[in-house]
Amino acid sequence: MFELLTSGLAVVFQPVMFILLIFAVFLGTLFGALPGVSATMAVTLAIPFTYKMDAVNAIAFLVATYCASITGGGMTAILFKIPGVPSSAPTTYDGYPMAQRGEAGKALGIQLICSAIGGMFAAFCMLLLSPQLTQAALSFGPAELFAISFMGLSILTSLETDNICRTIISGLLGLLLACIGLDPLLGVPRMTFGTRFLTSGIEMIPVMIGFFAVTEVLKQTQKRSELKAVGEVAQMKTEMPSLKELLSVKWTIARCAILGTVIGILPGAGATIAAFLCYSTEQKLSKYPEKFGTGIIDGIAAPETGNNAASGGSMVPLLSLGIPGGNAAAIMMSALVLKGVTMGPLLLVNQPQFLSATFASMLVSNVIMVFAAIIIARVFVQVLKIPYSILGPTIIMMATIGAYATKNTAVDVKLMAIAGLVGFVVVTCKFNSSALILGLVLGVICESNLRRAYTIADGDTLMQVTLNILSRPVTGVIMIVCLIVLLNPVLKPLLGKLKKSDKATV
Amino acid sequence: MAIELIVNALLLVFSLFCFFYVGATMPKSPVNELGAEQWPQAILILLIISIVWNLRNYFKRNAHSDIVQAFKNIFPDLIQFFKSKLFLGMIMLMVMAWAYEPLGFLATSILFLIGYGILLGERRPWFLAVTVLVITLILYVGFSVFLGVMLPRGYVPFLRQIALFLESVFQHL
């Protein structure tokens, strides 16, 4: 472990890399703070910066951007009641009332410290858990790997519980898109409709850039949201919390750091779910639940610790199993695949520097982030004065550079533009673009592992082979968990309705 | 409202077509193996069921008269959409994507930033011109010079010459 730590620090403390890391933290914090730029979009826009880096430096850079953007989102949540990133939404409940009372600086201080603690805790968990999970995964066959990646898909129904049917459709569309191109086992063109353009499949990075960056600008073009700050924030100064204040929320921080990391590790669940869950858990456990939402530091500490811990947790399945824990991790995975890195359990066995660099990057960026956020908070209002008429098109140009640099071909720029338009239609029809991307990323992993499992397993008919696969203990247990997770949000309201009708008849 | 129904109906037709298309175009798989056509077909079956369920929900959620009204308003709504900033933005985006390689990064960036900036309501010509030039230069220097990311020079001789000239200037610096 000490070796991993030193080799990781050696990567991030290379002079050029360290400067790039500071840049990544500023970039991430700024992107996260800007409303309309999500953490996923921040990572997407950071991709072009990594094209000339080697894979280890690239993951360190992207991780720093991701961690910082999650923290940056909390700043707008506190000052403007508009979450910069979706995972900062619960921060508005108590952050904004504090800002209204003139305690914005204190709220920002708590937010920064808790974010840093959550991020660093998750980094240590990642360092401890990833090698263990890798060791376990090395004994896994394709059936188990399919079950784990299917778990990422089963969480789809929990992504948007009010809209389960559309979320499932979005996920299935993503899975279908992943089928386009050469068949992963036979190598024959599939669903290419006779065009050469589709033979290599749907290129993930331009599609993700289109969905997360271009669609957002188009949405803002249609209806722009205006920002209104509370009080006098032109000269915002961050006030670090006192030791007494920090100690008063120590159990909140501890619980949310653990909960956030666990949620982050689950494939598919991400920082947003972690933040909401941490907030509601703390409210339930609190001695003064009625004060939540009125502007108390517990209400900021819980979501901010949770969402940063989840961002670290999401790196565990990515590094140890090659399965992304969320959209941002999916983008990082695509960026690594583009560099020729083979994701999967063997990654950390053959190249442990990926784990050490990610860990060191998370550790260092969480420290730099505190200083970066303090500096950014001072000029925050000026930064937000950048009109969207300048910011919007600049985002599209950066996205274009990112898409073009994938393979130095204009086809990817066109694909990005088309994906942006499709993404807009998807959003307009209330489908879930995150589910679609999750399906697209996990589709190939799921299919190739499942089909390999069928090829290896014994049996004369497809049914026999299926039963043989499901009778493997790890696969069976995970698939049962998947079914429960998948069906729970669907069956819960139905059962509720049944109970109500029963009561009515009685 | 109408667009939602149209998109769902189109998706349903496309899914049905794909189901048979995949079956017809893929090689036959052995009886005890999961073939190249079976995975997409399994997804398509689930997709078709989900879309039908979603359509059922749609008709349950919306009153018949509202749906009829939405379809009656479809042409005025379309005309309004074609006149909207959003549609112009979409056109600009597509034009930019198709012109990116022939015109090169510098010209495309300047034209797109000016065009989209005006579309989003920027009415200060000097501010826009200066900002656009500064942003283009920052993006060019940042990505092309410092990070070594390849940016297209364009096929148009005049624009290509400018790009090459800039490159040589930065190389000398």
Give the tens place of pLDDT for each residue, A193-202. 888 888 888 8
Residue A310: its H or E element: helix A297-313
* CB contacts, 8 Å: B8 with chain A: 429
What the block records as the tokens of A166 is 């559309």
Q: Is residue A468 part of a domain?
A: no
Q: Is residue A466 part of a domain?
A: no
Q: By the 8 A CB rule, do A274 and A263 touch?
A: yes
> CA-CA distance, A45 to A102, in Å (whole number)?
34
B149 and A429 within 8 Å at the Cβ level: the answer is no
Read off the pLDDT of each residue in A339-346 and give the average, rounded to a whole number.
77
Per the structure, the complete domain to which residue A394 belongs is given by: 2-456
User: What is the pLDDT, as a whole number, of residue A422?
Assistant: 92
Residues of chain B with pLDDT under 50: none
User: What is the pLDDT, as a whole number, of residue A275?
Assistant: 84
User: What is the pLDDT, as a whole number, of residue A91?
Assistant: 86
Asked whether the predicted pLDDT for residue A58 surpasses 90, the reply is no
User: What is the pLDDT, as a whole number, of residue A161?
Assistant: 61
Cα–Cα distances (Å) from A166 to A67, A307, A472, in that order, read: 30, 26, 33
Asked whether the predicted pLDDT for residue A496 surpasses 90, the reply is no
- Closest-CA residue of B relative to A466 is B32
User: What is the pLDDT, as a whole number, of residue A340?
Assistant: 78
If 0-12 CB within 10 Å is exposed, 13-18 middle and 19+ buried, where does residue B1 land? middle
User: What is the pLDDT, as a whole number, of residue A158?
Assistant: 65
Q: By the 8 A CB rule, do A182 and A464 touch?
A: no
User: What is the pLDDT, as a whole number, of residue A36?
Assistant: 61
How much is the ipTM here?
Answer: 0.91
Q: By the 8 A CB rule, do A318 and A290 touch?
A: no
Read off the pLDDT of each residue in A396-415 and give the average, rounded to a whole number.
86
How far is B137 from chain A, CA to nearest CA, in Å? Answer: 12
Task: Tell me the helices (H) and strands (E) count for chain A, helix number first.
Answer: 25, 2
Give the tens place of pLDDT for each residue, A247-306. 888 899 999 999 888 888 876 667 777 888 888 888 888 888 888 888 888 889 998 898
Most A CBs within 10 A among B26, B39, B116, hence the mutation to make, goes to: B39
Under DSSP, is residue A270 helix (H, G, I), strand (E, B) or coil? coil
Give just the sign of the alpha carbon dihedral A296, A112, A395, A354: negative
Q: Is residue A267 part of a domain?
A: yes
A462 and B34 within 8 Å at the Cβ level: the answer is yes
> Is any Cβ of chain A less than 8 angstroms from the Cβ of B137?
no
Q: By the 8 A CB rule, do A415 and A207 touch?
A: yes
What whole-number percentage of chain B has pLDDT above 70? 99
> CA-CA distance, A143 to A446, in Å (whole number)?
9
User: What is the pLDDT, as a whole number, of residue A172?
Assistant: 92
> CA-CA distance, B155 to B160, in Å (whole number)?
6
Q: Indicate the pLDDT class of residue A39, thresholds 50, 70 and 90.
A: confident
User: What is the pLDDT, as a whole number, of residue B172?
Assistant: 74
* CB contacts, 8 Å: B52 with chain A: none
- Closest-CA residue of A relative to B86 is A222
Q: Is residue A506 part of a domain?
A: no
Q: Is residue A299 part of a domain?
A: yes
Distance of CA A181 to the CA centre of its chain: 26
Q: Indicate the pLDDT class of residue A376, thresholds 50, 70 and 90.
A: confident
* A416 Cβ contact list (under 8 Å, min separation 6): A206, A207, A209, A210, A214, A399, A400, A403, B97
Nearest C-alpha neighbor of A362 from the set A2, A7, A12, A1: A12
A214 and B143 within 8 Å at the Cβ level: the answer is no
Q: Is residue A67 part of a domain?
A: yes
> CA-CA distance, A361 to A12, in Å (whole number)?
6
Give the tens place of pLDDT for each residue, A87-142. 777 888 888 888 878 888 888 888 888 988 988 898 888 888 888 877 777 777 88
DSSP assignment of A31-88: HHHSTT--HHHHHHHHHHHHTTS-HHHHHHHHHHHHHHHHHHHHHHHHHHSS-SSGGG
Contacts with A, B 74-103, CB within 8 Å:
84-86, 89-90, 93-94, 96-98, 100-101
User: What is the pLDDT, as a whole number, of residue A229?
Assistant: 53
Domain count of chain A? 1
Beta bridge partners of A182: A189
Q: Is residue A381 part of a domain?
A: yes
What the block records as the tokens of A302 is 């819980």
Q: By the 8 A CB rule, do A108 and A332 touch?
A: no
Nearest C-alpha neighbor of A12 from the set A21, A3, A25: A21
A404 and B151 within 8 Å at the Cβ level: the answer is yes
> CA-CA distance, A76 to A37, in Å (whole number)?
11
User: What is the pLDDT, as a whole number, of residue A383?
Assistant: 67
A413 and B26 within 8 Å at the Cβ level: the answer is no
User: What is the pLDDT, as a whole number, of residue B143?
Assistant: 81
Q: Is residue A371 part of a domain?
A: yes
Q: By the 8 A CB rule, do A105 and A350 touch?
A: no
Q: Indicate the pLDDT class of residue A339, thresholds 50, 70 and 90.
A: confident
Nearest C-alpha neighbor of B10 from the set A429, A485, A78, A418: A429
Asked whether the predicted pLDDT for residue A486 surpasses 70, the reply is yes
Asked whether the predicted pLDDT for residue A205 surpasses 90, the reply is no
> CA-CA distance, A366 to A41, in Å (whole number)?
19
A222 and B84 within 8 Å at the Cβ level: the answer is yes
Distance of CA B153 to the CA centre of its chain: 23
Most B CBs within 10 A among A19, A170, A172, hence the mutation to make, goes to: A172
How far is B22 from chain A, CA to nearest CA, in Å? Answer: 6
**Exposure b/e, B108-147, CB count within 10 A at least 16 = b:** bbbbbbbbbbebbebeeeeebeebbeebbeebbeebbbeb
